[in-house]
């Protein structure tokens, strides 16, 4: 293993305290640059200097204290043992696919089934726009889908088992159920659908059809609880939830969080989820990724990071979900390692960088109608420490069955049963999830709880190649490459646009082949008109006058 040596040394003319050196790219020319992760004003910043385009300092993590806490969970993953792009020199973000130097297997694979969309949201980068030069409609064939899923399953040491169908708007494909069936046939257990939910609201039977084909849950774009913050599907989302409720399809709400736009509604989104906890399994807050060229002042207006969202949720829930309840995604690695040492087999692990994502579990206390974070009745840190200790014992020659028996005997001591919500048997849930560690037992855990997650996708301003190298949210492609999210979307000119051009057709050709205009599928706000009170509420995204800057999120 080796790193491509770059000419320049890290710039030392920054203000603040150095935390670590890393690499990034120039937002103008994509040149690989040395970068410093630094602290000042109790926040963490990324600082870099391009010899041609100058200095950039960007907010990286909104709390130094939380950065320090999260960084203690840093664990590098098992890496890719069967890379699709074998290379010696590591030169992130080039040569993605996955390459020999990538450090995480696929945690969640994205498969784009279409880049057509029935909305034209002002901040979205993904949908095909008619009239733009080089606009291609990308819709892989069934054979291509099968091939891509096989590439995912062929990953080593752990084959991929969790897949998201995405777009564009995937429900625009009439053969979506067939695509789900193919993915299911190829052995993927978890299939989720990334959607705006409008077609599921308009056609309630669609959810049942997709469930029967093998769909696990919906990943529902949901940016706020008012028409202003969520013009996309404010009126439609309740109908979508009803369709899913009837079809027994769980829903993950996915707000793209933009400072000064919808960051005041993070608590409100949580309350909306609480009201619909019978069908909403999780919320995945996604701080916005800023694409396109944007001035520093504008970036400051919109930029929000994981700690900022966590603080706002604490404030907006009046301390119900405290900042201490959140852990970085790789904090679950002691669980994986314990299961690995016990089973002596490599296991699915979430080994992303600690600054990429965070999460917590909450349970509903029905008596008080309050959400209770798992941390208020489970000593998570103590439990993780204990698992680490037991893994060490087994790795050092200790008897694994004795270690597992001790763990089961001890697990109750990490749970405060008096504070545990009524009707919940956390010990049993944990033992099943840890010892069985299969899809169904982990699924049972999720049925009893609601997961709150954060995932901050990068952009050219805050891109940290140490994060990219550990990314586990990947895109499957017809050329069999599996490309990390923050390469695929952050540098579309190298990845996404090229692939869609190569495997897509022009808009004109698509219209000719399908005998309809691309814009014919745009949503006209049918459901909005039923409940709208004011003129701006009847304006669907398709006709929305709201357009500020090309801000993006997924």
Q: Which residues bind other proteins (CB under 8 A)?
A: 1-3, 5-6, 8-10, 19-23, 34, 68-69, 71-72, 74-76, 78-79, 90, 92, 101, 103, 337, 385, 388-389, 392-393, 395-397, 465-466, 469
Nearer to other proteins, 385 or 516 (CB): 385
Nearer to other proteins, 60 or 219 (CB): 60
Displacement of CA 440 from its chain's centroid (Å) = 21
Q: Which two tokens stand for residue 227?
A: 């028409």
| Residue 501 CB coordination number (10 Å) | 14
Report DSSP letters for 185-224, one per residue. Answer: HTT-SEEEEEE--HHHHH-HHHHHHHHHHT--EEEEE---
Q: Are 371 and 273 in contact (CB under 8 A)?
A: no
- Report the C-alpha gap between 322 and 16 in whole angstroms: 28
Nearer to other proteins, 179 or 325 (CB): 325
From residue 466, alpha-carbon distances to 20, 35, 90, 355, 356 in Å are 11, 11, 11, 10, 11
What's the closest the beta carbon of residue 20 comes to other proteins, in angstroms? 5
What's the closest the beta carbon of residue 64 comes to other proteins, in angstroms? 12
Nearer to other proteins, 101 or 489 (CB): 101
Non-local (6+) Cβ contacts of 380 within 8 A are 327, 331, 374, 414
Type and span of the H or E element at 429: helix 426-431
From residue 329, alpha-carbon distances to 106, 299, 354 in Å are 14, 26, 6
What's the closest the beta carbon of residue 355 comes to other proteins, in angstroms? 13
Any idea what DSSP says for residue 433? I
- For tokens 């008619």, name the residue: 130
Nearer to other proteins, 22 or 229 (CB): 22
Nearer to other proteins, 34 or 238 (CB): 34
Can you state the percent helix, strand and coil of the chain, rounding each to 5? 35, 20, 45
What's the closest the beta carbon of residue 35 comes to other proteins, in angstroms? 9
What's the closest the beta carbon of residue 453 comes to other proteins, in angstroms? 23
Closest CA to 330 of 472, 486, 161: 472
Closest CA to 14 of 50, 75, 56, 74: 56
What's the closest the beta carbon of residue 49 comes to other proteins, in angstroms? 13
| Beta-strand relationship, 162-166 and 190-195 | parallel
Nearer to other proteins, 11 or 511 (CB): 11
Three-class SS of residue 166?
strand
- Report the C-alpha gap between 507 and 128 in whole angstroms: 8
What's the closest the beta carbon of residue 471 comes to other proteins, in angstroms? 13
What's the closest the beta carbon of residue 2 comes to other proteins, in angstroms? 7
What's the closest the beta carbon of residue 348 comes to other proteins, in angstroms? 15
Nearer to other proteins, 121 or 352 (CB): 352
Any idea what DSSP says for residue 384? H
Non-local (6+) Cβ contacts of 33 within 8 A are 6, 8, 23, 24, 25, 26, 48, 49, 50
- Report the C-alpha gap between 388 and 382 in whole angstroms: 10
What's the closest the beta carbon of residue 403 comes to other proteins, in angstroms? 12
What's the closest the beta carbon of residue 397 comes to other proteins, in angstroms? 7
What's the closest the beta carbon of residue 71 comes to other proteins, in angstroms? 5
Nearer to other proteins, 10 or 159 (CB): 10
Q: Torsion angle, CA of 225/226/230/233, rounded to 10 degrees? A: 80
Nearer to other proteins, 57 or 118 (CB): 57
- Report the C-alpha gap between 359 and 285 in whole angstroms: 10
């Amino acid at each position: 293993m080796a790193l491509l040596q770059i000419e320049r040394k890290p710039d030392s003319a920054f203000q603040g305290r150095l935390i670590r050196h890393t690499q990034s790219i120039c937002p103008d020319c994509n040149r690989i640059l040395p970068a410093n992760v630094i602290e000042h004003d109790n926040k963490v910043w990324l600082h870099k200097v391009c010899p041609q385009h100058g200095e950039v300092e960007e907010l990286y993590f909104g709390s130094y204290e939380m950065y320090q806490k999260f960084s203690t969970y840093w664990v590098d993953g098992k890496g890719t043992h069967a890379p699709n792009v074998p290379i010696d020199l590591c030169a992130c973000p080039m040569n993605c696919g996955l390459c020999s130097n990538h450090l995480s297997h696929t945690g969640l694979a994205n498969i784009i089934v279409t880049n057509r969309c029935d909305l034209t949201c002002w901040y979205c980068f993904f949908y095909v726009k008619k009239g733009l030069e080089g606009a291609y409609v990308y819709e892989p064939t069934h054979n291509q889908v099968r091939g891509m899923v096989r590439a995912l399953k062929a990953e080593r040491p752990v084959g991929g088992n969790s897949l998201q169908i995405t777009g564009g708007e995937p429900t625009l494909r009439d053969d979506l159920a067939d695509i789900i069936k193919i993915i299911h046939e190829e052995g993927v257990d978890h299939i989720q659908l990334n959607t705006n939910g409008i077609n599921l609201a308009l056609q309630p039977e669609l959810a049942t059809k997709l469930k029967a084909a093998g769909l696990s849950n919906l990943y529902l774009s949901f940016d706020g609880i008012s028409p202003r913050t969520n013009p996309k599907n404010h009126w439609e989302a309740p109908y979508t939830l009803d369709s899913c409720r009837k079809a027994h399809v769980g829903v993950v709400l996915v707000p793209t969080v933009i400072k000064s736009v919808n960051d005041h509604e993070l608590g409100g989104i949580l309350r909306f989820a609480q009201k619909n906890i019978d069908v909403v399994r999780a919320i995945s807050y996604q701080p916005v990724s800023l694409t396109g060229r944007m001035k520093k002042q504008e970036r400051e207006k919109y930029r929000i990071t994981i700690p900022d969202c966590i603080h706002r949720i604490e404030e907006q829930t009046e301390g119900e979900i405290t900042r201490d309840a959140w852990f970085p995604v790789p904090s679950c690695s002691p669980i994986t390692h314990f299961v690995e040492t016990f089973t002596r087999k490599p296991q699915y692990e979430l080994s992303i960088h600690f600054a990429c994502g965070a999460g917590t579990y909450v349970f509903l206390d029905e008596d008080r109608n309050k959400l209770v974070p798992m941390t208020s009745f489970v000593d998570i840190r103590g439990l993780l420490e204990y698992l680490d200790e037991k893994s060490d014992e087994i790795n050092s020659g200790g008897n694994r069955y004795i270690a597992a028996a001790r763990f089961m005997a001890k697990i109750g001591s990490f749970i405060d049963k008096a504070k545990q919500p009524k009707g919940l048997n956390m010990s049993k849930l944990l033992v099943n999830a840890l010892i069985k560690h299969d899809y169904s037992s982990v699924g049972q855990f999720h049925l009893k709880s609601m997961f709150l997650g954060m995932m901050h996708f990068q952009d050219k301003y805050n891109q940290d190649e140490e994060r990219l190298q550990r990314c586990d949210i990947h895109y499957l492609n017809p050329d069999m490459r599996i490309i990390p999210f923050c390469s695929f979307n952050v540098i579309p000119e190298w990845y996404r646009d090229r692939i869609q051009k190569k495997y897509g057709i022009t808009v004109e050709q698509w219209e000719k082949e399908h005998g309809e205009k691309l814009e014919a599928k745009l949503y006209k706000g049918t459901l909005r008109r039923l409940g709208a009170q004011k003129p701006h509420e009847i304006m669907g995204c398709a006709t929305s006058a709201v357009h500020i800057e090309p801000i993006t999120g997924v």
